[in-house]
Homo-oligomer: A and B are copies of this chain.
Amino acid sequence: MTPQEAYENLLKWSREIAIIQNIIELLEWDQRCYMPPAAYLHRAEQIKFLTAEKHQRLRLEQVEEWIEQAEKIFYETDPHSPERANLREWRRWSERARKVPVKLVEEIARITSEAGTIWENAKKHNDWKSFEPYLERIFRLKMQEAEALGYIKEPYDALLDEFEPFFTAEEFDSIVGVLLPELKKLLNTVMESPENIDNSCLYRHFPVPLQEKFGRLVARKLGYNFEAGRLDVTAHPFTISPGPDDVRITTRYNEHDFSLAFFGIVHEVGHALYDQGLEKEHWGTPAGMPVSLGIHESQSRFWENIIARSHAFWKFWYPSLLQHFPILTDVSMETFWKAVNEIKPSLIRIQADELTYAFHIIIRYEIERDVLRGNLKVADLPDCWNEKMENYLGCKPSTFSEGVLQDVHWSAGLIGYFPTYLLGNIYSAQLLAKMEKDLGGSIDELVGSGLFGIILGWLRENIHRKGSCFTPKELILEVTGSAPRPENFLHYLRKRLGAVYGI
C-alpha cells in the first residue's frame, strides 16, 4: 500500500462515515419536524443501527496504519493544509473511538436514553429526587469515559475536548477569571442606570404568517440559501445538515412575542451560513467540517446579537418591519431597538439576554467542573445552583424545574458542552474586532446599508472555508492574531450597553 493509496482509503472511510452521519441527521430532522408520533420507537432503532454502523467504522483497526502510511507524503506540507488537518483529525476520531470500551459507550447510551424520560418528568413535576440518582450515574459514567480517553491535567478536559477540541478547563477558568468580575460590574452599572426600557412593543400581536415572511426575507438577505435549505417549525429550534447542499433550520412562533421566532431564525441562520460556507471540495473530511461547537456558536451569536441587535441593523430593516407589522407604527425605531437589547436578570438560560447569559453558563460550568474535580456532590447541586444564581444574578429559583432541572444537557450526558456557548460569545466579539480592522472601521455602515454580503464574505474567507484545518484555538489565533480572550467581548458589551443604557 502506497502512502497515496492509504490516503485514498482514508478519504473513502471518512466520506462513508459522513454519509452515515448525514442520514442520521435527516432521521433526526424528520423526527423533530414531521414524524408521526407512533413511529417514535422504531425511529430510535433506526438511529441506533446507523450509530452502530458509524462507530464500527470509527473503530476500524486499519485506520491507524493508513494514517501512518499517509503521513509519509504529507509530512513536509503546511500543517494546516487540508491533508495534514485531515490526518490530525482522523487520528483524533480514531483514538477517541477506540479508547472508550464499547460496553461503556453502550452503557452511557442506555442510561442517557432512560434519563431523558426521567428528566422530562422530573422537570414537569419539580421532582429533583427522581432525577438525582440518574445524574449521579451519568457523572460517574462520564468520569469513566474521561479516564478511558485520557487527559493531561484533569478529567474535565477529556470531555470538553469532544465539543471544543484541545481546549482545557484551566484555559476556560482563566477566561472566566477575567470575565466574571467585569461582567458583575457591568451588570451593576446597567441595573443602576436610570434608563427604563419599555419592551411592551415586542409583545403586541404579530400574525405568524407575517413573522415567517419577514423572517424568510431577512434570512435570504443575510445570505442563507433556501435552494439548499428549509425553514420549518419545531418546539426547540435547531440547525441540521443532512448533506453538503442541505442545511435546514427551524424556529417556533408565538404570535404575541416578536423576538422568539425572529432572533431564533437569525441565530439558526448564523449556524447555517457556516455549514453552507464549508468547502464542498472537502465534503466528508475534516477540512470540510465545522471545527467546534464554540466556533459554530460564534457564528450564530455573531448574526443574532452583534448584527441583528445593532442600531444599524434596525435602521436598515425598520421600514420593512413596519410594512409587515403596521401595529408597530406608533413605536419609534429607538424604542424598538432598546427593547430588543434589554438586560434583565432572570432564571431561565434560554430566555436570558446577552449579558446575563454568560452568568448562566458560568454557573453550569463551575458545577460540572467541581463535580468532576470531586469538590461537589450531585446531591448538593440544587443548593449550589441556587446560591450561585443568588450570588451572580441576584435571583433565586423557587422550584427545581426553574433551577437545576431546567436544561436537557446533563440528562443527555452532555457534560463539557456548556462552555462552548460562552466561547461562542467570546470568539464572535474577537472576530468582530478583527473584521472591523480589516474592513477599515465599524461595520455599522455596511449593516445600515444592508451590505451583509461583505460581512458574510469576511466570515466565509476567515472561518467557514477553513473547515477544521486549524484547531479552534489556532483558528482564532490565525485569524485575529491573539489566542481566545475575553477582552473584546467585554469591550463589545460595554459599547452596546453603553449606547442602549446611556452609561
Chain A residues near B (Cβ < 8 Å): 16, 19-20, 22-23, 26-27, 30, 34-43, 45-46, 49-50, 53, 225-230, 232, 242-246, 248
Smallest CB–CB gap between A21 and chain B, Å?
11
Name the residue on B nearest A247 (C-beta): B36
Q: Are B46 and A19 in contact (CB under 8 A)?
A: yes
CB-defined contacts of A45 to chain B, threshold 8 Å:
19
Contact (Cβ within 8 A) A246 B27? no
Are A245 and B30 in contact, with the CB atoms below 8 A? no
Shortest distance from the beta carbon of A435 to any chain B beta carbon, whole Å: 28
Q: A26-B30, A27-B26, A244-B42 are in contact. Are A230 and B19 (CB under 8 A)?
A: no
- A50 to chain B: which residues have CB within 8 Å? 23
Shortest A5–chain B CB gap in Å is 21
Residues of B within 8 A of A22 (CB): 42, 46
Contacts A/B (CB < 8 Å), 29 sampled: A16-B49, A19-B45, A19-B46, A19-B49, A20-B49, A22-B42, A22-B46, A23-B46, A23-B50, A26-B30, A30-B242, A34-B230, A36-B226, A36-B227, A36-B228, A36-B229, A36-B245, A36-B246, A37-B227, A37-B228, A38-B225, A38-B246, A39-B228, A39-B243, A40-B245, A41-B245, A42-B243, A42-B246, A43-B246
Q: B38 contacts A227, CB within 8 Å?
A: yes
Q: Complex Cα distance A245/B230, Å?
A: 26
Find chain B residues with CB under 8 A from A38 CB. 225, 227-228, 245-246
Determine the chain B residues whose CB is within 8 A of the CB of A23 once the complex forms.
23, 27, 46, 49-50
A41 and chain B: residue at smallest CB distance: B245
CA distance A20 to B38 in the complex (A): 19
Closest B residue, CB atoms, query A280? B42
- Selected from B42, B243, B246, the residue in CB contact (under 8 A) with A245 is B42
Most B CB contacts (10 A, CB to CB) among A16, A35, A246 go to A246
Q: What are the residues of chain B within 8 A of A248 when measuring CB–CB?
A: 36
Once the chains are docked, how many angstroms separate the CA of A230 from the CA of B244?
27
Do the beta carbons of A243 and B43 come within 8 Å of each other?
Answer: yes
Bound CA span A38–B225, Å: 10
Residues of B within 8 A of A27 (CB): 23, 26
Please measure, in the bound complex, the distance between the C-alpha atom of A225 and the C-alpha atom of B16, giving whole angstroms: 36
Tell me, in angstroms, the Cα distance from A50 to B24 when the chains sit together. 12
Chain B neighbourhood of A37, CB < 8 A? 227-228
Instruction: Tell me the complex Cα distance, A49–B42, Å.
Output: 21
In angstroms, how far is the closest chain B Cβ from the Cβ of A440?
A: 35
Residue of B nearest to A232 (CB): B34
Contact B39 A242 (CB under 8 A): yes
Which residues of B have CB within 8 Å of A46?
Answer: 19, 22-23, 26, 243
**A226 surroundings in chain B (CB, below 8 A):** 36
Complex Cα distance, B245 from A35, in Å, reads 10
- Whole-angstrom distance from the CB of A502 to the nearest CB of chain B? 45
In Å, the complex CA distance between A320 and B439 comes to 66
State A45–B246 Cα separation when bound (angstroms): 13
Q: Looking at A38, A226, A232, which has the most chain B CB atoms within 10 Å of its CB? A: A38
A242 to B232, CA, bound (A): 20
Please, which residue of chain B has its CB at the minimum distance from the CB of A228? B38
CA gap between A225 and B39 in the complex, in Å: 12
Name 12 extra pairs, CB < 8 A, besides A22-B46, A36-B227: A23-B23, A26-B26, A26-B30, A26-B46, A30-B30, A36-B230, A36-B245, A36-B248, A38-B228, A38-B245, A39-B228, A42-B244
